[in-house]
Amino acid sequence: MNIVVLIKQTFDTEAKIAIKEGKIVADGVTQIINPYDEFALEEALRIKEKSGGDVLVVSAGGEKVKEALRSALAMGADRALLVETEGAAVDEGIVASALAKAISGLSYNLVLSGWKAIDDNSAQVGGRVAETLGLPQVNVVTQLTIEDGKALAVREVEGGTETVEVPLPALITAQRGLNEPRYPNMRGIMQAKKKELKVVTLSELGVSGAPQVAVKNVVLPPAKQAGKLFRDDVATSVAQLVQALRNEAKVI
């Protein structure tokens, strides 16, 4: 069973977001593996431990993404591949086609990724890669069984779950609840340094073209305002409150 796991490096959930000239400042921000992708990786490792095979972890991004790939190798992935996009203008479509291109020539039975990344929440890449490669896909999966060349996936639907069966190879995107990702041990950390980490560029993959999506502006949510207290006697306070609700908050 050869498994490809697509991961993205994202900001830590507690990172302080600062914006400069319409762009998010990444300096000094702690970067982690997108938690949903970690579920995907963990699932791949468990399948491998059960039925053998090879886990290749693939990501797109700049030099810093190598840290995320090394972490994935420390967790137990066998090889890593970085699609270098440093300096290139990319959107989800370009990233997805680059990833699809990068793995299209490989022999694999299963592609796993998180159902979305916690930074932009666009949930595009998994689906696009599956479409590009012509793979059946099951999204938002919380339980996965691989058997007899088929994948049996339980996915969340509104108000319940749905069990879907697809033939392999297929692409599955992971939702929270699929598993609890492991903590790498020393053996993993030491071996990760020696494992293969290949880099390919967009041009080597023959991926070009302008992004179809442009970010027009990025703004921080307005800072939370302090609450307003009405401290006069009850009658006056109520009158002031009603006025404020009507004129300032415009809710009544």
Taking CB under 8 A as the binding criterion, the range among 19-27, 133-141, 184-192, 207-215 that sits at the site for other proteins is: 184-192
Residues of the chain by 3-state class (helix, strand, coil), percent to 5? 30, 30, 40
Residue 182 binding other proteins, by CB under 8 A: yes
Piece of the chain touching other proteins by CB under 8 A; list 83-91, 147-155, 166-174, 177-185: 177-185
Site string for other proteins, 233-252 (x = CB under 8 A): --------------------
Report the alpha-carbon distance of residue 233 to residue 247 in Å, rounded. Answer: 21
Applying CB under 8 A, does 187 fall inside the site for other proteins?
A: yes
Does the footprint of other proteins cover residue 223 (CB under 8 A)? no
Q: Which of 189, 199, 200, 244 binds other proteins (CB under 8 A)?
A: 189
Q: What does the block give as tokens for 47? A: 């399948």
Residues numbered 107 to 166 that lie near other proteins (CB under 8 A) are: none
Residue 18 or 218: which CB sits closer to other proteins?
18
Task: For residue 64, give every residue at least 6 positions away whose Cβ sits within 8 Å of its Cβ, in sequence order, or none.
Answer: 9, 31
Residue 111, number of CB atoms within 10 A of its CB: 30
The total of other beta-carbon atoms located within 10 Å of residue 176's CB is 13
Least CB distance from residue 84 to other proteins, whole Å? 25
Note whether 220 binds other proteins by CB under 8 A: no
| Chosen residue from 16, 64, 176, 228 binding other proteins by CB under 8 A | 16
- Using CB under 8 A, count the residues that bind other proteins: 17
Question: Position of tokens 């009158």?
Answer: 239
**Rule CB under 8 A: which of 26-45 touch other proteins?**
28, 30, 32
Distance, in Å, from the CA atom of 2 to the CA atom of 47, rounded to the nearest integer, reads 10
Number of other CB atoms surrounding residue 7 within 10 Å: 28
Count Cβ atoms within 10 A of the Cβ of residue 112 and give its class: 0-12 exposed, 13-18 middle, 19 or more buried: buried
CB 30, CB 13: distance < 8 Å: no
Q: By CB under 8 A, is residue 12 in contact with other proteins?
A: yes
The one segment of 8-16, 58-66, 207-215, 243-251 that binds other proteins by CB under 8 A: 8-16
CB 156 within 8 A of CB 39: no
Q: Answer whether 114's CB lies under 8 Å from 39's CB.
A: yes
- Rule CB under 8 A: is residue 49 a binding residue for other proteins? no
> Interacting stretch for other proteins, rule CB under 8 A, among 104-112, 181-189, 224-232, 233-241?
181-189
Residues in the chain: 252
Binding site for other proteins (CB under 8 A): 12-16, 28, 30, 32, 180, 182-187, 189-190
